[in-house]
Structure 1
Amino acid sequence: MLDERKVKLMTKLALYEETYGKEDFKISSYYRKDYASLHVIYAFLSVSVGYVCLVALLLLAGVEDIMSNMSNGLILFLFLIILAGYVGVVIVYCGIASHIYNEKHKKARKRVKKYNHNLIQLLKMYEKEKR
């Protein structure tokens, strides 16, 4: 005879495995700090490449104006603005990435714990049935 509670629990477990399960198991295999740090490094690299491309594009677009007014003071001023912008963008972007991936790990870990709890409940039901 089918036990309705077991069927509901197995359905819940199967639904979780199909929706969040695969990604959550990968995420929760890391420590939270390691997971967030890895993604912050990826974010740092991607924002660095993007910023360099943006600055190169803007410099190429305004190279005629820069060359006509070229002086050491102007070059130093542009360099400092570009550097300050880079540092600001990197700090903000990496801070946001750190927060997002820490939260993502917490939520995934919470869902995996609930999944494990449900598996234990199902195992207990099977053991009770064997007796």
Structure 2
Amino acid sequence: MLNNQKIKKMHKLALYESGEGKKHLAISNYYRSDYIGLALIKNFFLTTIAYGLLLLIYFGYRSEYLMENIHKMNLALMALQIIGLYIIMVVGYSILTYIYCSVKYAKAQKGIQEYYKGLTQMKKAYDREERRNGRITGRRTKA
């Protein structure tokens, strides 16, 4: 006989597994420090590329002014400003990435714990049913 509670529980677990759980299971394969470290490495490279593109756009837009006034500019100060802005941008995005990934990892761990709790409940329900069916048919079950 079909048990509506078991069907609902299985449906809920299957929905989680095929939706949000797919991402959570992928995240839970990593240790927290490894997951955040990998995200910070990606962040460093992507921020560097983005900053380089921003510099290209800025220098492309201001190229005429730069060509006319390059002999009047303090290039060492300009280089320090460029490097300083780069460091500020990398540090800022790294802090945001760390916070975002920490929250995301914690949420994934919580979801996975609930998922495993549901699986344990399903296993217990099947074990109870198996013991009950074993008694009804007169078979002995292994303990």
Range of TM-score over shorter length: over 0.9
- Match of 2:74, SS state, is helix
**2:123 aligned with 1:106:** no
Q: Secondary structure of 1:16's partner?
A: helix
Structure 2 residue ranges without an equivalent (≥5): 132-143
Q: Compare relative contact order (CA 8 Å, sep 6+) and give the higher one, 1 or 2.
A: 1
Residue 63 (structure 2) pairs with residue 63 (structure 1): yes
Q: Count how many residue pairs are aligned between Structure 1 and Structure 2.
A: 131
Q: Which blocks of at least 5 consecutive residues in structure 1 are unaligned?
A: none
Per-residue deviation at 1:7? 1.2
Matched residues in 2 for 1:31 and 1:103: separation? 14
Q: Deviations over 1:23-48 (max 9, x none)?
A: 11110000111111101111110110
CA distance in 1, matches of 2:84, 2:15: 48
The aligned residue for residue 82 of structure 1 is 82
Q: TM-score, normalised by structure 2?
A: 0.85
For the 8 Å contact 1:43–1:97, the answer to whether it is kept is yes
Shift of 1:13: 0.5
TM-score (normalizing by structure 1): 0.92
Q: Which residue is equivalent to 2:34?
A: 34
Deviation by residue 1:53-96 (Cα, 9 ceiling, x = unmatched): 11122123223322332348611121111111100010000110
Larger Rg over CA atoms: 2
In the alignment, what sits opposite 1:18?
Answer: 18
Instruction: Please report the RMSD computed on the Cα atoms of aligned residues, expressed in angstroms.
Output: 1.4
Aligned counterparts of 1:118 and 1:103: Cα–Cα separation in 2 = 23
Work out the CA distance in 2 between the residues paired with 1:124 and 1:65.
75
Do the aligned partners of 1:33 and 1:102 also contact (CA within 8 Å) in 2? no
